[in-house]
Amino acid sequence: MADLSGRRIAVLATDGVEQVELTEPVRALKQARAEVVVVAPHDGEIQGMNHDEKGDKITVDDTLDNVSPDQFDALVLPGGVANPDKLRTLPEAVAFVRHFVDADKPIAAICHGPWTLIEAGGVSGKRMTSWPSLKTDLRNAGAHWEDNKVLVDGKLVTSRKPDDLPDFEREMLNLFEKTAHRRAA
């Protein structure tokens, strides 16, 4: 099992997040002893979704205007259609993601999550997978899209959908353990 103690991981999400694509990676990261922070554009709670049906409300740990990406060692971008579509229109969310791209920090994105990565300039030249409807968007942004359960390219791991979560989590934990720097105790 991966040991991510000493690592602080941001999970960037907002209303419309695919619930299981947030809750399951968070559970896996916490089991690996990472400090996980759900970051959103607003405080309180965000609305989770189970595909197109409302799911649970998810507690926000901190807000974009209250954190700096420098405080984190890695980033998780869950999907859901509305979540990344809203995030990619917010300059502060795009700047947050762009920091991880520019600083070459590890990023894990699933389903529609790569939409925000496109906006942050983080997909060109990368081998990636996603929900199938993003194939053209990713290719137009310079990514090499493939229909696989999970793909790792450098410090980026991507996956297609909730059914792929076991593979996504395994590769995310492996990538974060190898490439996310430990914080000084």
Please indicate whether residue 112 is annotated as part of the active site.
Answer: yes
H-helix segments, 42-90: 82-87
178 φ/ψ angles, rounded to the nearest 5 degrees: -80, -30
Neighbours of 98 (CB within 10 A): 18
C-alpha pair distances (Å), 77 with each of 1, 16, 110, 163: 22, 13, 7, 16
3-state helix, strand, coil in the chain (%, to 5): 40, 25, 35
What φ, ψ does residue 174 adopt, rounded to 5°?
Answer: -60, -50
Examine the residue annotation and report whether 144 is marked as an active-site residue of this protein: no
Q: Among 51, 112, 144, 181, which one carries the catalytic annotation?
A: 112
Catalytic residue among 42, 51, 111, 144: 111
Q: Which amino acid is at 123?
A: V
Q: Cα separations (Å) of 120 from 98, 99, 123?
A: 5, 9, 8
Catalytic residues: 111-112
